[in-house]
Amino acid sequence: MLFLAVRLGARNLFRSRRRTVITALSVAFGVCVAVVFIGTRQSMYDRLIESGAKGGYGVFSLSQPGFIAEPSPSSLFAWDESLRQQLAQLPGVTLVAPRIAAMAVIATSKSSTGAALLGIDPELETKASNQMLANLVNGAALAPGDQQGCLIGTGMAAQLGVNLGDKVTFTTTDRQGQIVSSVAYLRGTFRTGSLELDGHLALLPLTLMRQTLDYPADGVSFVAFFAPSASDLVMLGTTIRQRLGAFPLELSSWRNTLPDVAQAIDLDASLYRVLFIFTGIIVSIGILNTMMLNILERRREFGVMLALGLTPANLVTMVLSEALMIGFIGLILGALAAAPLYWYLHQFGLDLTIFLKDGATIQGRGIEDLLSCRLTVRDVMQIAAGLVVMNFLAALYPAMAAARTIPILAIRTP
């Protein structure tokens, strides 16, 4: 009897093609909305994490315990180059970069300002791993072997009143807490769009930082790990920890080094989750309305079925099977409609600057100027499961209403 109820549900799909199409299109609309909402937000999160990681600590950072919370020149450790090469070969790791960080006062003959110093290895660092190098607007990057060059943001350059080739003096404390000074020469300036980076960050060669802070030849403050934006960072972190074993250092994820970004992403994800739920409710109401009209139109039919021996439970099964089959049809239609949209946004993205006036920009305001889309297999499965469950729940009340049909009254209804 249960199989018969399912067969009747499948046959009923073609009895009212208009109703089937309307309901399926409602589900298909939900698929498209979910793909765009979830995909674009995930892509935006990827870009925020990638941008923050390239600005300093990477997606993972290896350092002395407590360094991330309270950076200090005294929190150094010896770094083995052979270990760096082994870690760089781990699946998903694109670069392992030793770095040195310190706070300082940078001065010229005209002005001075507080700044964060970041020591990098010019032989390892590229535009792919360093946001500042990727946004050079004047001069050139630090060359391998350059022990006296520096790069600063355009905001800091304007405040200090310096040009390419000018001398700058930075004063900081070494690992013993002694006040020390060194001289560097401006090789280039960068503009990332971030007021913090452009106005308060200076890049220096790793060698010069070691000499200034009295570090040994293999001393570093932390080691930054980089990975593609679409990587599974949870799995990558587990892999790195397993490879490090009992190494007496602390591995921090981007959530520890970029707490503001993590908090913003969590808040935004919560808001969009609520928005997605409301969208699902709106789609469910449309499905519920269609199903209720269908039940009212077929009350006489249901009365005849119950009079011929179909049980109320089998009637509920028949109606729910209809809804589930319509839901699967809607998923297929939605997938066909969303696939080319997703492909375009994933491959090329949508340039948001076309909606701005000439010369306007949104760089540096926390908003990407390119709207792209990325979904994981887990996202796709959640969208499909969520819409099927939504369709099922929307049809549950109409199915139970149909099961409460009184045969004799329904048959007498003209």
Tell which of 257, 281, 310 closes a domain: 257
Shared domain check, 137 and 23 = no
d(CA 64, CA 268): 32
Residues paired with 117 in a beta bridge: 102, 202
- Say if residues 132 and 151 touch (Cβ distance below 8 Å): yes
Q: What is the pLDDT of residue 362?
A: 45
Longest dimension (CA), the chain: 100
Contacts of 54 by beta carbon, 8 Å cutoff, 6+ apart: 129, 130, 131, 134, 226
Shared domain check, 96 and 27 = no
What is the overall mean pLDDT for the chain? 84
- Worst-scoring range by mean pLDDT, 116-125, 161-170, 237-246? 237-246
The mean pLDDT of 354-366, rounded to a whole number, is 49
d(CA 219, CA 98): 9
Q: What is the pLDDT of residue 357?
A: 54
Tell which of 224, 257, 290 closes a domain: 257
- Say if residues 192 and 157 touch (Cβ distance below 8 Å): no
Shared domain check, 18 and 79 = no
Shared domain check, 85 and 38 = no
Shared domain check, 280 and 164 = no
The mean pLDDT of 137-150, rounded to a whole number, is 90
The mean pLDDT of 106-118, rounded to a whole number, is 90
d(CA 289, CA 86): 61
363 pLDDT band, cuts 50/70/90, is very low
pLDDT in tens, 227-249: 887 677 888 888 888 888 777 88
414 pLDDT band, cuts 50/70/90, is low
| % pLDDT > 70, the chain | 92
The SS3 of residue 60 is strand
pLDDT in tens, 294-318: 788 778 888 888 888 878 888 888 8
The DSSP result for 195-238, as a single string, is HHHHHHEEEEEHHHHHHHHT--TTEESEEEEE--TTS-HHHHHH
Q: What is the pLDDT of residue 366?
A: 41
Tell which of 231, 257, 283 closes a domain: 257
Tally the C-alpha atoms within 13 A of residue 285's C-alpha that lie toward its C-beta.
5
The total domain count for the chain is 2
> Hey, which of 34-48, 174-188, 263-277 has the most confident mean pLDDT?
174-188
Q: Is 165 exposed, middle or buried (0-12, 13-18, 19+ CB in 10 A)?
A: exposed
d(CA 384, CA 244): 39
d(CA 116, CA 113): 10
- At residue 219, φ and ψ (nearest 5 deg) are -80, 140
105 pLDDT band, cuts 50/70/90, is very high
The total number of residues written for the chain in this structure: 414
Shared domain check, 97 and 12 = no
Q: List the domain range (segments joined by +) for residue 308.
A: 2-50+263-412
> Hey, which of 274-288, 333-347, 382-396 has the most confident mean pLDDT?
333-347
Q: What is the pLDDT of residue 364?
A: 44
